Structure 1
Amino acid sequence: MAWLYVLLAAIVEVFWVVGLRYSETPLEWIGTVVAIIISFYAIIKACEQLPSGTVYAVFTGSGAAAIVFVDFLLFNADFSWAKMLFISVIIIGVIGIKVTTEELVDTAAKEAE
């Protein structure tokens, strides 16, 4: 479940980063703030079961990669193969962190068994 929180936080991060750049009306700014709150809440929930360094690394790496793709697809950002190479390195790193990280075990729940 913790990894779903990290995924949710990274997805919502795309919305609030775009909102920070393009919001103009009060309603758009409110939506951006709500997205920030949801994203950080999901990070906090993930940190209850995963090491915070891992959560932060995966959150920022996957969010940054997603934002670059959104910029390419929706906002006509300059595309280069060098950017794609480095984004691929980030994605490989995020996958590597996920594969090598174990969720924290609730020792109180384990002792109750």
Structure 2
Amino acid sequence: MNWLFLMLAGVVEIAFSQSIKPTQNFTKPLPTLLCFALAAGSVYLLTLAMRSVPVGTAYAVFTGIGAVGAISLGIVVNRDPVSAGRLAALALIVGGIVLARFTTSE
């Protein structure tokens, strides 16, 4: 169950990363409120996961999911450049997340 919390924390982290730009440097009240709520939600879910997942593993997986999601959305939504190097980096991060999951005991 704690790994589910960790995966959800990563998904909320992705949403948080995408909510930053619409705040326009935190000058827009509603987008800013949403941004802060997503940040708090992702950290809260992360703390739930840390009940049994080691802190280092949990944080690495959490940030890895956020990074993969943010880069992927950048490519798909914002038309960020795609290169073999970027795709290889994403594959390595995903591989690290999978490896951490299957080699960490709760």
Q: What TM-score, normalized to structure 1?
A: 0.87
2:2 corresponds in structure 1 to 2
Equivalent in 46, 66, 80 of residue 63 of structure 1: 66
* Matched residues, number: 103
Aligned to 1:95: 98
CA drift of 1:21 comes to 2.3
Q: Give the letter aligned to residue 89 of structure 1.
A: L
Aligned partner (choices 49, 53, 68) of residue 50 of structure 1 = 53
The 1-side partners of 2:14 and 2:65 are apart by 10
Secondary structure at the aligned position of 1:48 is classed as: coil
Query: Paired residue for 1:111?
Result: none
SS at match of 1:54: helix
Bigger shift: residues 12-21 or 39-48: 12-21
Question: What per-residue deviation string (whole Å, max 9, x for no partner) do you get for residues 43-75 of structure 1?
Answer: 101111110111001111111011100000111
Q: Could you list the structure 1 runs, at least 4 aligned residues long, displaced by more than 3 angstroms after superposition.
A: none
Question: Paired residue for 1:27?
Answer: 30
Larger Rg: 1
Which residue type is aligned with residue 67 of structure 2?
A
Note if contact 2:9-2:43 (Cα within 8 Å) is conserved in structure 1: yes
